Amino acid sequence: MPESRLIAAIAVLCLSAGARAQKTVDWPVYGGSDDHTHYTTLGQITPANVRQLTVAWTYETHDEFAGSEMQTNPIVVDGVLYGTSPKLRVFALDASTGKELWSFDPTNGAAPTSRIRHRGVVVTADRVIFNYRNRLYALDKRTGRPIPTFGDSGWVDLRAGLGRPVRGLSVSASTPGVVFENLLIMGSTVPEALPSAPGDIRAYDVTTGALRWSFHTIPHPGEPGYETWPPDAWKVAGGVNAWSGVTLDARRAMVFVATGSASYDFWGGNRVGDNLYANSVIALDARTGKHIWHYQVLRHDLWDRDLPAAPVLVTVRRGGRAIDAVAQITKTGHTWVLDRATGAPLFPVAERPMPAATLAGDRAAPTQHFPTLPPPFTRQRLTKGDLTTRTPAAHAAALAQFEQYGTTDPFDPPNDKGTIIFPGVDGGGEWGGPAFDPKSRLLYVNANEMAWLLKLVPRSDRSLYAANCASCHGENRQGSAMAPSLQDVAERRTREQIAQIIRDGTGRMPAFGSALEGRALADIVNFLITGRDSSAAAGPDPFGIPWRNAYFDIFVDNEGYPGISPPWGTLSAIDLDAGTIRWKIPFGVYPKLATEGLTETGTDNYGGAIVTENGLLFIGATTYDNTFHAYDKRTGKLLWSAKLPAAGNATPSTYMVNGRQYIVIACGGGKNGAPSGGTYVAFALPR
């Protein structure tokens, strides 16, 4: 036997002996641990044997539908895996075989009415907690049945306790919370247009469901930050929500959240000011919700530049000493490293002047600040020289759009001439979040590099559809990367289902409630079904917003590929000690372009990585090639890959049952026109 193979065999025997001593290892919370590092010490799978990975089991949810997604990071506790399906059915599986143990469907078998983005559940000693739309459920961990003593017969209404009438609010939670002592602490998902709920951070009693504390992300009178909003903004403003999750430092009894922008995203004349605590990293007392510190990354956001991922708790070295810190990635491709105790940046910060707002009534922040280190992990400015040269026709199509929109600065405010948002509204960094290796202090970030086009028009609309729906779904119901097409909605939904969605909202879509009732609601539903608009003019916006989106979508060429030059997706290793990028590679391929020899393009990608102590980085994420990857974490070299039944737009989990290590990923697809799926796939070494 060659020496290298002998060494590998001895290593496997040693790891197997260790596994026998440690037969069960959980993946107990979203991201693997409360610090969101996505890190594991499990080492049965190594760089030497990773090529031997094979499919151990699959679980078919059979719940996928056109446009559905499945972004769940599975939870594994005591040999049982807990996950959710594309329609948000919750289930428990034998984690070693994939056999279903129980299932709970909050819809009682009804067909799904719209796409739901959801990333997992919370598992405690006796219960599984998850939310379906506005309902926060607690299920018996053994049976999957609702626990009647939790809230109202097993669920709590997330719309309650926000200081506004429940009717007309759309509130859910795409990302599970964290448990500290007997508190479930969580953020929320709310609409990005008005009407929208505020994004309060809230703590619920795990046993009873009672609301224990709230932190107002849109400050109330007398609270710090109130002066950064117009008077009484807390009564009507929305957003400023921690939709990407909550991070816990149990030893310090601190929770950390990263917030999104205020609603409406692209014009802020009704919210003039810095809009604290939007686009901020916030540290709170986990027992009381009391403010400890905050750092606002972006003032008066006009570009939908939410902080896209939960903060990551890291320890870095400065001058020979260890410093506990928080790492926060952004959609603009920056990495903020903040002192965990104080929120002070650990690298120098540059203050830069910004372009002035051009739309009447709005005032952009005169300056914004940026970390000088680490360097951005995405490009920061788009010029003619950055446009695609894939083919002459592709370049011509991209150039025509570039000259039409004419952005000169990445922080040009939205306007009626058109703006190119770069990096795009899906990142830079995105919701999968980074993985952190505490030994090397490397932060691994997958990112998108795709520009978006945005054009606003006055809201002097001729119809109810144009006033209320066209911003997201397009002038002709064609849809966009942010919202599905409605041109065939009559083939997928009944008249009653369409009306219900308009009344109640879903995810980022507002609940129109009493704003659209009777004849107005009937007119919009009729238009969606027939394409004939019989409604009267919409009238002035009740929230005082004089603009709406005329166009908002990814900047693409004549064949639908990104209109800029590659890479369109990247994977980077960032040294948080030195503030440098250790390595960076294109991430993902377009299968059709690969057959033409274009294999280093990268693609848009969603879902995070996990990093192992012994040298591996596992990640799915890539939208179009349906591939699961294992990289050498030191170099970025691809060591292994496997095809999935649909794109793995989710963060994988790894665990051990009966001495065998598994890696599992949810394969939901459905992003940006990719086929949808509903399969969980678990990999392991051969027995």
- The pLDDT score that the predictor gives to residue 482 is 62
Average pLDDT over residues 626-644: 98
CA distance 290 to 255: 10
Helices (H), 60-201: none
Average pLDDT over residues 538-559: 85
573-to-329, 450, 514, 609, 637 alpha-carbon distances in Å: 13, 20, 50, 12, 12
- The pLDDT score that the predictor gives to residue 364 is 97
| Mean pLDDT value across the chain | 91
pLDDT in tens, 408-454: 899 999 999 999 999 999 999 999 999 999 999 999 999 999 999 99
Of 253-267, 285-299, 536-550, the poorest mean pLDDT is in 536-550
**Residues contacting 526, CB < 8 A, separation 6+:** 532, 534
Please tell me what DSSP assigns to residue 92: E
- The pLDDT score that the predictor gives to residue 496 is 65
Q: Which fold has domain 462-540?
A: Cytochrome Bc1 Complex; Chain D, domain 2 (1.10.760)
Decide if 419 contacts 351 (C-beta within 8 A).
no
Whether the pLDDT of residue 2 is over 60: the answer is no
- The pLDDT score that the predictor gives to residue 459 is 80
Angle, helices 518-530 vs 495-504, to 10°: value is 120
Q: Flag whether the pTM goes above 0.85.
A: yes
- The pLDDT score that the predictor gives to residue 168 is 78
pLDDT in tens, 54-65: 999 999 999 999
Q: List residues bridging with 444 in a β-sheet.
A: 435, 573
- The pLDDT score that the predictor gives to residue 534 is 58
Average pLDDT over residues 657-683: 97
pLDDT bucket at 317, cuts 50 / 70 / 90: very high
Of 168-177, 412-421, 507-516, 610-619, the poorest mean pLDDT is in 507-516
If phi over 0 gives left and psi between -120 and 50 gives alpha, with beta otherwise, what is residue 153?
A: left
- The pLDDT score that the predictor gives to residue 5 is 44
- The pLDDT score that the predictor gives to residue 16 is 41
Percent of the chain's residues with pLDDT above 70: 88
pLDDT in tens, 240-259: 999 999 999 999 999 999 99
Pick from 317, 167, 158: nearest CA to 241: 158
Whether the pLDDT of residue 525 is over 80: the answer is no
pLDDT bucket at 269, cuts 50 / 70 / 90: very high
CA distance 392 to 388: 9
- The pLDDT score that the predictor gives to residue 406 is 77
The upper half-sphere exposure of residue 625, i.e. CA atoms within 13 Å in the direction of its Cβ, equals 26
- The pLDDT score that the predictor gives to residue 17 is 42
- The pLDDT score that the predictor gives to residue 516 is 57
- The residues spanned by each domain of the chain are 462-540
Whether the pLDDT of residue 641 is over 90: the answer is yes
Handedness of CA 60, 65, 66, 70 (dihedral sign): negative
- Strand order of the β-sheet with 291-296 is 246-249, 254-258, 280-285, 291-296
